[in-house]
Structure 1
Amino acid sequence: MTKKLIALDLDGTLLHSDQTISSYTVETIQKVKELGHKVVIATGRPYRMAKSYYDQLKLETPMVNFNGSLTHLPERKWDFELDIRLDHNYIWKLLDLKETIQLDFLASEYRNKFFINFDKKETIPPELFGVDKIIDKMELIPHKITEGPNGLLLQTGAEDKYAMADFIREHFRHDLEVDSWGGPLNILEFSAKGVNKAYALKYLLSHYGMEAKDLLAFGDEHNDREMLDLAGVGFAMKNASTTLLPHADEQLAWSNDEDGVAKKLEELFL
């Protein structure tokens, strides 16, 4: 069988709703790797909030973070690393719109750190950023922003996060990428124009001498659209957002909480 590049989203896809990966899924992925297929995490999460899953799965492949803005080998020097930054002026432009977009908080995200505005500090859940507590050194203050971020993350109080994402795209004349998180949180994430999971996966396919037909991709949300479009076969989870379904070749019969990814991989390869 032709060796595949298998791209896995985390939230709503590989992870259960309690943010865990089952032992069954871990074991299945190990067996698939042993057959020579390459498994990569492709997530909107920052690196610090994805590394534990990378380690749990015993991966040695590059990881895609920030929806494609950072493609790297964790904790290792890699000459082919992609580190794409967003113009930091978007931070201040979004903060200027805070009333219009019903902003709870805005975070400027980097590989190993983040800064967040404290206007509504009480609305910031520390666990969202992988920390125990939001402390002063994390406050978003102009003098701390010395370089463009890999991505921006905001929470809006708007009832319809998809409509708000459309509004922000239009406001900035589609000069940056705006995606939404799955689940109940009204989270929007931003990256440089043209940068998404598919952008990073095209790069990895080229690096490995593979073609798009060799890519299998699993996702559940708006930010997985381009990745599923690119893939030879794109799978949407049973629990996938309706915005993703037109981009999928197949919707799985199982949700993330039912280990849908592992069951499909077992069906395909084992």
Structure 2
Amino acid sequence: MTKKMIALDLDGTLLRSNNTISDYTVDVINRISKQGHKVVIATGRPYRMALEHYKRLQLDTPMISFNGSLTHLPEKKWSKEQNVTLDKKYLLGTLKMSETIQADFIASEYRKNFYITLNYPNSINPALFGVHKITENMRMDVDKITRDPNALLMQTRHEDKYQLAKELRKHFDYNVEVDSWGGPLNILEFSPKGVNKAFALNYLLSALNMTKDQLIAFGDEHNDTEMLAFAKTGYAMKNASETLLPYADKQTDYTNEEDGVAKELEKLFL
């Protein structure tokens, strides 16, 4: 069998709602990896919040995080690492609009840390950032904005996060990608123009001397549209957002809560 690259989103796709991966899923992915297929995490999460799942799956492949901004080998040096950052002027511009866009918080994400506005501290769930508590040293101050971030994250009280995402893309003259998170949270994430999971996968396929005909992808939300459209076979989860379905070739028979990815992979490869 031709070796495949299998790109897996995390939240709403591989992960259950309690942020875990079942032993069954780990076993299926390990068996597929031993066949020589490349299982790759492709997530909108910051790297630091995806690493534990990478280790749980015992992967040795490059990881894609920040919605495609960072493609690298976790905890190793890799000559083909790709790290694309967002000009900090877009962070400064978003901060100026924070009340207009009804932002509960705006956060700048870097590989190993983040800064966050604390105007509405009670609206912040620390678990979104992989920490137990938001502390004062995480506060966003203009004098801390000395580096271009990998991504921005914001939570809004706006009644329609999809409409707000469109308005923000237009406001920044379409020089920034703005996508929504899945589920009930009104979360938007900003990436550099042209950067998404498909962008990173295209780069990674080339780096590993593979073609997109070898790519299978699984996702559930708006930020997976380009990835599923790009892949030879794109699977939307049974629990996927309606916005994703037109971009998918197939839909899984089971949800993320039911190990939908592992059950589909078992049918395909085992």
- The TM-score bracket by the shorter chain reads over 0.9
> 2:111 aligned with 1:111, yes or no?
yes
Q: Which amino acid in structure 2 is aligned with residue 150 of structure 1?
A: N
Equivalent residue for 1:93?
93
Q: Residue type matched to 2:238 in 1?
A: K
**Counterpart in the other structure of 2:76:** 76
Q: C-alpha offsets along residues 74-110 of structure 1, whole Å, 9 cap, x if unaligned? A: 1111111111110101112111111221110000000
Does 1:257 pair with 2:257? yes
Question: How far, CA to CA, are the matches of 1:95 and 1:120 in structure 2?
Answer: 14
Shift of 1:167: 1.2
Which deviations, in whole Å up to 9, do the C-alpha atoms of 1:6-60 show, x marking residues without a partner?
A: 0000000000111110000000001111111000000000011100000000000
Do residues 67 (structure 1) and 62 (structure 2) align? no
Q: Deviations over 1:149-187 (max 9, x none)?
A: 000000000121111111111111211000110011110
Give 1:266 deviation, angstroms.
0.2
Match of 2:38 in 1: 38
Q: TM-score, normalised by structure 2?
A: 0.99
Match of 1:243 in 2: 243
| Corresponding residue number in structure 2 for 1:184 | 184
Task: Show structure 2 runs of 5+ residues with no match.
Answer: none
Q: What residue number does 1:158 align with?
A: 158
Q: Write out per-residue CA displacement over residues 91-141 of structure 1, whole angstroms, 9 at most, x where no aligned residue.
A: 121111112211100000000000001111221111110111111110111
* Deviations 1:179-204, CA, capped at 9 Å, x for gaps: 11001111000010000001110011
* AA aligned opposite 2:259: D
TM-score normalised to the size of structure 1? Answer: 0.99
Q: What residue identity is the alignment partner of 2:121?
A: K
> Secondary structure in 2 aligned to 1:265?
helix
Instruction: Name the SS of the counterpart of 1:225 in structure 2.
Output: helix
**What secondary structure sits across from 1:235 in the alignment?**
strand
Secondary structure, aligned partner of 1:189: strand
Task: State the match for 2:218 in structure 1.
Answer: 218
- Distance, in Å, in 2 between the alignment partners of 1:10 and 1:198 is 15
Cα distance in 2 between the residues matched to 1:252 and 1:126: 31
Give the AA of the match of 1:128: L
Supply the AA of the counterpart residue of 1:237: M
Structure 1 segments of 4 or more deviating over 2 A?
A: none
- 2-structure distance, mates of 1:164, 1:145: 24
What's the counterpart of residue 52 of structure 1? Answer: 52
Segments of structure 1 that go 5 or more residues without pairing to the other structure are none
User: Is it true that 1:14 corresponds to 2:14 in the alignment?
Assistant: yes
Q: Which amino acid aligns with 2:22?
A: S
- Bigger Cα displacement from structure 2, 94-103 vs 63-72: 94-103
Give the match for residue 200 of structure 2. 200
